[in-house]
Structure 1
C-alpha cells in the first residue's frame, strides 16, 4: 500500500506543481493543495501513516539542509541585526494579540499565553521553497528570513519551556536552557573544526558516493542532536548545511542532495501537510477559524514586516519578509500536539488550530509571489 501511495503522491505533486506554475503561482502551492485532495478530507487515496510521516520528516530536514548549503555565510553575518529585528517583531505581535484573543475566548491565562506562543512559531520550510523558485533565497531578504526563523524557533521553544514549568508541567527549566546552549555551542564548534576534517577523511574511502554519504551523515546527526536538545531538527539540518557550504565539497553535495530530495522526499513532505488536514466537525467553529487565521496572518506580516523596516529594508522588501514569516507549518503542529498532551489546549481548540496552521501555510507562497514579483 505504501508503494502505491508514494506513486500517487509523486505523480500528483508534480502535476499539481506544474499546474500551479502555469497559473502564475509557486509550485509548492499546488503541492500543498493536492495533498488536501488526496487525503481523507476529499478523495481518501492517501492516509497519514507512521512511515509516510517519517519520509515527510526526512523531506523537511533535507529541504532545510539544502537551504543551509545555499547560504552565503558572509551575507548571513551582515544580516544578523536585521534577522534579530524581524525575528522578535514576528514574536511580539502574535504573542500579544494571541494572548488577548485567548482572554476574549475565556481561556485561562496559561492557555492564552500558550495560544500566543503557538501563533508566534515560524516554519520557513515552505518559504524556502518559494524563495528558491523565485531566485530570492541568496538575497539579503532571503538570508534575513532564514536567520529570523532560527531566532523565532529558539525563543519560542525556550518561552514554551518557561510556560510549561510555571503551569505545572514537569519541566526542568535550567536543563532546557543548558541543552540549547550546549547544542548551539557544540554545533558551531563541530561545524567549524570537525565537519571539514570528516568530509576529507570520509571521501577517501574506497566505496561509491562517499561524499554525498558523508554529507547526509552530518545532516542527520546535526538534526538528531538538535531535536534531542529540544531545538528542532530542521535547525540542526540548516546549521549542517551552512557548515558544509564553506568547504570545497559544497557544489558536488548540493547537486546530489537536491536530486535525492526533490525526486521523492520533498514532494512527500509538501503533500503530507495537506494530507494531515481534517475538516470534519469544524463547521460550527468556522467563525473562530476565520478570525484566528486572519489574526495569525496579520500579526506575523505586520510584526515581522515592521522589524524589517526598522532594520533598513524598503516597505516592499519588508512586506515580502513579513509574508515569508507567516507560515506556521510543522513547527506549530508540533507545539499544538504538546499543548493537547499537556492540556493547555482542548480537543476542539486543537482541531481549530490545525486548520489555522494549514491556512497560514497555504497562503504564504502566493503572498510571497505577489510581493516579490512586484518588487522585481
Structure 2
C-alpha cells in the first residue's frame, strides 16, 4: 500500500470528461444553496423557518471543504505537485487568512462554532484512519539490505535537524512557545517537528517522478519509514515523561504506555495475525476483516487517549502490528485509504487552515523568524541527510537527491503541529510557522528533484 499513490497526473479521457461534469454539479448545488439560504447567507437574517438547520449546515460545510481541497489539488497537479499540497492550500483558503478576509460574514455563516466543533471531532476520525494506514505503510524489510546507508542517513536527517530545532526553539521561546510551561517539553517537541519526514507524501512524489522502484527511491522510503517510527516513538516518550495530557502522574503514564506497547507486540500482534489468516479463508471472513481492522485502529486510538498519549499514537501502533504479507489486508487498506484520503483528510486540512492565520506574520520580526526557521529546517536537514548518504559511500548526485527527498514534511508535520497546538506546546504563531514550513518544503521537493535529475542527465 502507498498512501496518495494515485495514478499519474492528468488521468485518462474518462477522468477528463468527468471533470466538467463535476464542476457543473458543484455549480448546480451552489445555486440551490443560494436560492434557498441566500438571504441568511448574505444578510444574516433568518428565514421564516427560523434559520439554517445545524445538520444541514455541517453537511454543507463538509461538501465545501471536500470540493475546495480537491479542486485546488487538481489545479496544482498540473504543476507536478502532489495532491496533499493542494489540499493543504485548500484548507488555508477556507481559513481566516483568505476566506475570512474576503468574506467575513460568509465564513462566519458557513463555519459557526457548533460546526467547527463537529468538524474537529470528525477530523480526528480522519486523522486516526490516516495514522493507522501510515503504520501499515511502515515496512523495514530494506533496512537489513542497506544497513549502513539507512542508519547513517537517518542519523543525519533526524539528528542534526533535531539539535538545530531545539536550539532554534530556545532562541525563539518568547515568541512561539505555548502556555504549557515546560521549556524542555517545548524545545524537544520543536526539535522533533524540524526532524520529521512525511512518508506517505514522499511515496507519492517518488511515484510521480518514476523513481519509486529505483535504488535511491527504495532507500529514501526506508529512511523515511525508520525516521517516522523513531519520531513517533520519541513523541510517545515525550508525552509520557512530561504528562502533557494531564491524565495522571508521569510514572503512571510511563508504566501504562510501556505496558500498552508490550501487550501490543507480544499479544495483539500474533492474535491479529491469526485472525487475518482465519478471515482470509472465506469471502465472508474477508468482509469481516474490514470492520475488525477499523474497530481495532479506533479502539487503540481511544485507549491511547485514556492512557495519556495522543490518539494518533495508538492508531499508528495498531497499524504497525498488522500483518504485512496479506493480500486481503492490502485490499482493505486501499478501501480505507480511498475514503480517508478523499473525505476525511480534507476535513483535517480544513481544521489546520481554520487554525492558521497568516495575519500573525504581520510585521518584520515574525517574517524574519519564519524565514530563519525555514532556512534551519531545510538546510540542516539537507546537509544531515545528504551528508549521511555521502558517508555511506553514495555518489554526490545521489546524496543531494537523498537530502532533497528527506526534506519533504507534508501531512506528518501538520499532525505534529496540531498536537503541539492542542497541548499548548506552541502558540498560534508557532503553529502557523510549522504549517508553512510543511507546505513550502513539500512543494519544493518535486521541482528540486527534477532540477537535480536534469543536471545529472538521469530520468526523474
What is the TM-score with the length of structure 2 in the denominator?
A: 0.67
Identify the match of residue 119 of structure 1 among 187, 190, 204. 190
Contact 1:301 1:323 in 2 (8 A): yes
Q: Deviations over 1:245-271 (max 9, x none)?
A: 233422321232122223311232234
Task: Give 1:335's aligned residue.
Answer: 420
Q: Distance in 1 between matches of 2:359 and 2:276?
A: 49
Task: Give 1:322's aligned residue.
Answer: 406
SS at match of 1:116: helix
Q: Select the structure of larger CA radius of gyration.
A: 2
Task: Give 1:64's aligned residue.
Answer: 131
Identify the match of residue 206 of structure 2 among 108, 128, 134. 134
Q: Deviations over 1:94-147 (max 9, x none)?
A: 443344445545759986544532322249695513423532498232132022
Aligned residues: 365
* Cα distance change on mapping 1:298 and 1:159 into 2, 3 Å: farther
Identify the match of residue 443 of structure 2 among 358, 362, 366. 366
**How many angstroms does 1:331 deviate by?**
1.3
Indicate the larger mover: 108-117 or 11-20.
108-117
Task: Give 2:92's aligned residue.
Answer: 36
Identify the match of residue 93 of structure 1 among 160, 177, 187. 160
Q: Deviations over 1:302-345 (max 9, x none)?
A: 334444544555413421343135863221331344345xxxx6
Identify the match of residue 149 of structure 1 among 220, 228, 248. 228
Contact 1:25 1:369 in 2 (8 A): yes
* Cα distance change on mapping 1:256 and 1:66 into 2, 3 Å: same
Task: Give 2:27's aligned residue.
Answer: none
* Gaps in structure 2 of 5+ consecutive residues: 1-56, 101-106, 454-459
**How many angstroms does 1:281 deviate by?**
4.2
Identify the match of residue 252 of structure 1 among 331, 334, 349. 331
Larger RCO (CA under 8 A, 6+ residues apart): 1
* Cα distance change on mapping 1:358 and 1:219 into 2, 3 Å: same
Contact 1:61 1:223 in 2 (8 A): yes
Task: Give 2:269's aligned residue.
Answer: 192
Q: Distance in 2 between matches of 1:205 and 1:318?
A: 43
What is the TM-score with the length of structure 1 in the denominator?
A: 0.80
* Cα distance change on mapping 1:256 and 1:337 into 2, 3 Å: closer
Q: Distance in 2 between matches of 1:185 and 1:361?
A: 33
Indicate the larger mover: 1-10 or 202-211.
202-211
Contact 1:328 1:357 in 2 (8 A): yes
Task: Give 1:22's aligned residue.
Answer: 78
Within the alignment, does 1:217 sit opposite 2:273 as a pair?
no
Q: Distance in 2 between matches of 1:106 and 1:69?
A: 36
Indicate the larger mover: 126-135 or 201-210.
201-210
Task: Give 1:52's aligned residue.
Answer: 119
SS at match of 2:359: coil
Q: Deviations over 1:12-60 (max 9, x none)?
A: 1111111111012111111111111112221144647222122222223
SS at match of 1:23: coil
* Cα distance change on mapping 1:85 and 1:104 into 2, 3 Å: same
SS at match of 1:249: helix
* Cα distance change on mapping 1:147 and 1:102 into 2, 3 Å: closer
Task: Give 1:351's aligned residue.
Answer: 428
Identify the match of residue 237 of structure 1 among 310, 315, 318. 315
Contact 1:61 1:234 in 2 (8 A): yes
